[in-house]
Amino acid sequence: MQLITSSWVQSKYYRSVPSRIIVLVQKICCLLIEKINEFLDPLTLFKGDRDNTQIKVKLSLDVLNLLIKSYYECREQIQPSDIEASSYPWEFQMKEFFLSLNLLFRDWRKFIKEIFSAAEVYFNIPCEKLIGLQQAPYKKRLEELKSTFIEIYNKFEVSLYNALDLQCKAFIEDFDAFSLKLQELDPKLGIAVGQICLTSKPSEEAFKMATIFQDIVKRRSAQKEFKNLLASHIVNIYVDFLKAKESYNNFIALLDKSDKRIIYKKTFLLFLVHCNGQ
């Protein structure tokens, strides 16, 4: 980017025909996209190690981001070398420069990133952490959700199309079916994890389960259902607390009215001490 912006302020050839700069940058963008396609190997994108592929996808996006960031930095730092050059400010719009990159960003966020994001959740459901008899039904439910996800993800693993070619109808159709199924699975996942936490006894176990499954409910629909369940449970606990407090206040009021309130109070305090000692 520094070379390109320097060419603009130092070369009459480029300043005389601004579209030459646009063409130059677009060619660089196309070359970069071509190299990224080679790096990611789209025909085997879903067939290799998922963690490694996610790292490569992230690295590719970081490179594209770096190019755009460099554009803004060079635009701010540009210094015309003479008076004539200062009459030609660098006023190119990003839309003109990075049309192909913007389309790629949009499509990758919508398709590729969503697929790997869902895979990271469902393939890592810690079903093995549920070992109690009481947790068996929820373990089975989570295993069923995971199994269903594996089935829909398998379409991408066995595919022969270029998953980075967003003009590929077969990939778009598979992704639409994948997204539709996720809309069904995600809420069920959040509900299942929420019920695991609510039925865990004692409270320490519930917090332990919430910690274990916190990464599993990070998808929006799953998180919504999970929070709704826990919120209702917290409200119930608070209502019980208020009722207990009211009963205690009523009991104290009765003691205050009694002639034997001192004896009752002492007995009640001894009872509380006994309970705390258990």
As given in the structure block, the two tokens for residue 55 are: 């790292």
Best mean pLDDT range from 22-26, 60-64, 185-189, 240-244: 185-189
Look at 195 and 97; give whichever has higher pLDDT: 195
Phi-psi region of 264 (alpha: psi -120 to 50; beta: other; left: phi over 0): alpha
Instruction: Tell me: pLDDT of 81 over 70.
Output: no
In this prediction, residues 22-46 reach a mean pLDDT of 85
pLDDT at 44: 87
Q: How confident is the model at residue 142 (pLDDT cuts 50, 70, 90)?
A: very high
- Sign for the CA dihedral angle at 176, 167, 99, 66 comes to positive
pLDDT at 258: 63
Residue 5 CA, chain-centre distance (Å), reads 37
* Residue appearing with tokens 């639409």: 176
Establish whether the linkage from the previous residue to 202 is cis, with ω within 30° of 0: yes
Instruction: Tell me: pLDDT of 133 over 70.
Output: yes
Instruction: Report the percentage of the chain scoring pLDDT > 90.
Output: 22
| CB of 190 closer than 8 Å to CB of 222 | yes
Instruction: Tell me: pLDDT of 234 over 60.
Output: yes
Instruction: Tell me: pLDDT of 118 over 70.
Output: yes
| CB of 5 closer than 8 Å to CB of 76 | no
Using CA atoms, how far residue 250 sits from 3, 46, 237, 257, in Å, is 82, 66, 20, 11
CA dist 82 and 143 (Å) reads 70
**What's phi and psi for 158, nearest 5 deg?**
-95, 0
Mutual orientation of helices 220-257 and 261-277 as an angle, nearest 10°? 150
Per DSSP, the chain holds a count of helices (H) and strands (E) of: 13, 0
The SS3 assignment for 78 reads: coil
Phi-psi region of 48 (alpha: psi -120 to 50; beta: other; left: phi over 0): beta
Q: How confident is the model at residue 273 (pLDDT cuts 50, 70, 90)?
A: low
Q: What is the pTM of this model?
A: 0.69
Cα dihedral value 254, 258, 262, 267, nearest 10? -60
In this prediction, residues 219-241 reach a mean pLDDT of 74
In this prediction, residues 207-231 reach a mean pLDDT of 86
In this prediction, residues 127-150 reach a mean pLDDT of 91
Instruction: Tell me: pLDDT of 277 over 60.
Output: no
As given in the structure block, the two tokens for residue 110 are: 């919508």
Look at 102 and 111; give whichever has higher pLDDT: 111
